[in-house]
Amino acid sequence: MAFIAGMVNVASFLIFFSFSSNVTGYFAIFAAEMTKGDYYQVVMVIGWIFLFFAGSFTSNFIVIHFRRRGQYTAHAVPVILEMGCLLMVGLYGQFAYQETLRETEALLAIMFFAMGLQNGLTAGISNFAVKTTHLTGATTDLGILLSMFTKEKFRTNTELVNKAKLIGSTFFAFIAGALTAGFIYPALQFGIFYVVCVLLTLVVLYDVIYVGILRLVLTLRTKRLSPTPPSIPHRTTAQRRALTTPFVSGKDPAREKASAVQPARCEETTVR
Amino acid sequence: MKIKPVWPVYALLILVTLVGFAWVKKHVSGPEQMIVGTWRELSWEYERVNTPADKQRLNDRDTIAQSVKDQLGKHLMIHSAETWKFHPDGTLTLEGPGDVKIIRWKLKGRGHILELEHRDHTVEHYNLTALTNEQMILNFDSDMQVKGIAKLTFHR
């Protein structure tokens, strides 16, 4: 996701001369334009910041309210929305863009919303730990972590090391995305958004593919290790008969009997 | 469903914002409208230079001498243009002493980048630092002779 954000950010800068994956600078621009009295710019900047906010709101709204319909769906919908937004930018840019200021503002607005969606999703599901569309917080965190690693007790702290690895990978991905966009932009122009959409499709399908492969591997491994699945305990004929015998009293004698006499194979499986 | 009470608030927020934007857009004139008209060049200045030595080379004078301006603008399509006429159809007439050029103009970003496109598709970008009814200020990075940011000021 950080790779995608890096690509989108550079694409928006190269095409529209404005960044779209972060809003910190726009707060400064808002203040500067306000003091200059350029209210058109003020309104525009507020609009973009609002759309970034709205994207983040929408994303987390979907995640928390649609979780009942499945976590996968709840996480996939914001990514699909983001894909739709960026595809719209790509298609409009390639086939209808007349380079007017109004179009530029509108396309940037869509991109801000898309980046808000992405940031809201990653930050929401990671409990505010991961933000993929900008590196300000990550830079701060990395600075803190590296200073902590000057002490041995922190260097051996697995949690901190993992956090540093996560931030490092976010950095790497964002920069790689930005560089990729910089290199391919001259050739693809607005087509760069199609590449972004393909990558987002992979993100959406990642869980499906990953879980599918994982299931396949597990099934194959289980089959190789034991012909009988370990989840089904092996029972003797007497035990099976006892289980099927209807009971009249409050206690279930068959179950008691079955649990009392555990087959050796089952014990072995449990120990493993 | 539990989420029902939240939807109206969300929808209302979006509606209010969109209406607000539409209202403001209608009442505040944008840079694309404001730039249209005739602008006369007032001055070329170095607003920022890279080193104090560069500043010294300019003899501590902000205004760029004609010779420096000639050097600076040698590779720019706006060179020697004293009057700029922005037309609403996206064309720009650059009028200089004995020279008239017609090129195309566009605004990019949030209206803070002026893009000029020559007939041979050469493109130049300028920062539109200020734009009011009376004054327009353009900035551009220069690496000619004295590195720094040059400032062009225009009046109606």
- Judge whether B112 and A41 are in contact, CB under 8 Å: yes
A35 touches chain B (CB under 8 A): no
Tell me, what's the pLDDT at B97?
80
Token pair listed for A247: 């009971």
Q: Is the separation of the CB atoms in A181 and A10 below 8 Å?
A: yes
Q: Smallest CA–CA separation between A104 and chain B, in Å?
A: 7
Q: Going by DSSP bridges, is the β-strand pair B148-155/B37-49 parallel, antiparallel, or unpaired? A: antiparallel
Look at residue A92 in the predicted model and tell me its pLDDT.
96
Q: Each residue of A23-73: pLDDT tens digit? A: 999 999 999 989 988 888 888 899 899 999 999 999 998 998 888 878 888
**Residue A190 pLDDT:** 94
User: How do residues A198-252 score in pLDDT, each as one tens digit?
Assistant: 999 998 888 778 877 888 888 888 877 765 555 555 566 666 666 555 544 455 5
Give A41's contacts in chain B (Cβ within 8 Å): 110-112
How close is the nearest chain B Cα to the Cα of A110, in Å? Answer: 14
Nearest-Cα distance to chain A for B44, in Å, is 22
Residues of B in contact with A14 (CB under 8 A): none
B64 confidence band (pLDDT: 50, 70, 90): low
Asked if A10 and A185 touch (Cβ cutoff 8 Å), the reply is yes
**Phi, psi (5° rounding) for residue A32?**
-65, -45
Closest partner residue to A41 (CB to CB) among B3, B108, B111 is: B111
Q: Is A50 an interface residue toward B (CB < 8 Å)?
A: yes
Confidence of residue A266 (pLDDT cuts 50, 70, 90): very low
Of the candidates A180, A174, A182, which has an alpha carbon nearest to the alpha carbon of residue A135? A174
Residue A105 touches chain B, beta carbons under 8 Å: yes
Q: Which helix (H) or strand (E) holds A200?
A: helix A192-225
Which residues of chain B make contact with A105, given a CB cutoff of 8 A?
110
ipTM: 0.75
The answer to whether the Cβ–Cβ distance between A101 and B111 falls below 8 Å is: yes
C-alpha span between A187 and A44 (Å, rounded): 30
The mean predicted confidence, pLDDT, of chain A is 84
Domains and CATH numbers, chain B: 31-155 (2.40.128.540)
The rounded percent of chain B whose pLDDT value lies above 90 is 14
Six-digit token string for A196: 């972004």
**Residue B82: count of CB within 10 angstroms of its CB:** 14
Residues 6 or more apart whose Cβ sits within 8 Å of residue B124: B76, B77, B78, B115, B116, B118, B140
Residues of A in Cβ contact (< 8 Å) with B32? 100-102
| Closest by Cβ to B113, choosing from A17, A29, A38 | A17
Q: Which residues contact A118 (CB under 8 A, 6 or more apart)?
A: A1, A4, A5, A55, A59, A78, A79, A82, A132, A133
Do residues B104 and B116 make contact, with C-beta atoms less than 8 angstroms apart? yes
Q: How many CB atoms lie within 10 A of CB A102?
A: 13
A40, A65, A99 ranked by CB distance to B106: nearest: A99
Q: How many CB atoms lie within 10 A of CB B2?
A: 7
pLDDT tens, residue by residue, B75-105:
666 666 788 999 999 999 988 887 888 999 9
Region of residue B86 (phi > 0: left; psi between -120 and 50: alpha; otherwise: beta) = beta
Task: Tell me the shortest Cα–Cα distance from B53 to chain A, in angstroms.
Answer: 30
Determine contact, residues B46/B148, Cβ cutoff 8 Å.
Answer: yes
Residue type, B142: S
* Confidence grade of residue A166 (pLDDT, cut at 50, 70, 90): very high
With CB atoms and an 8 Å threshold, state whether A104 touches B130: no
What is the bridge-based pairing of β-strands B123-131 and B99-108?
Answer: unpaired
Least confident among A35-39, A146-150, B66-70, B81-85: B66-70
Buried b (16+ CB within 10 A) or exposed e, A189-214: bbebbebbbebbeebbeeeeeeeeee
Kind of pairing between the strands at B113-117 and B123-131: antiparallel
Give yes or no for a contact between A206 and A34, defined as CB atoms under 8 angstroms apart.
no
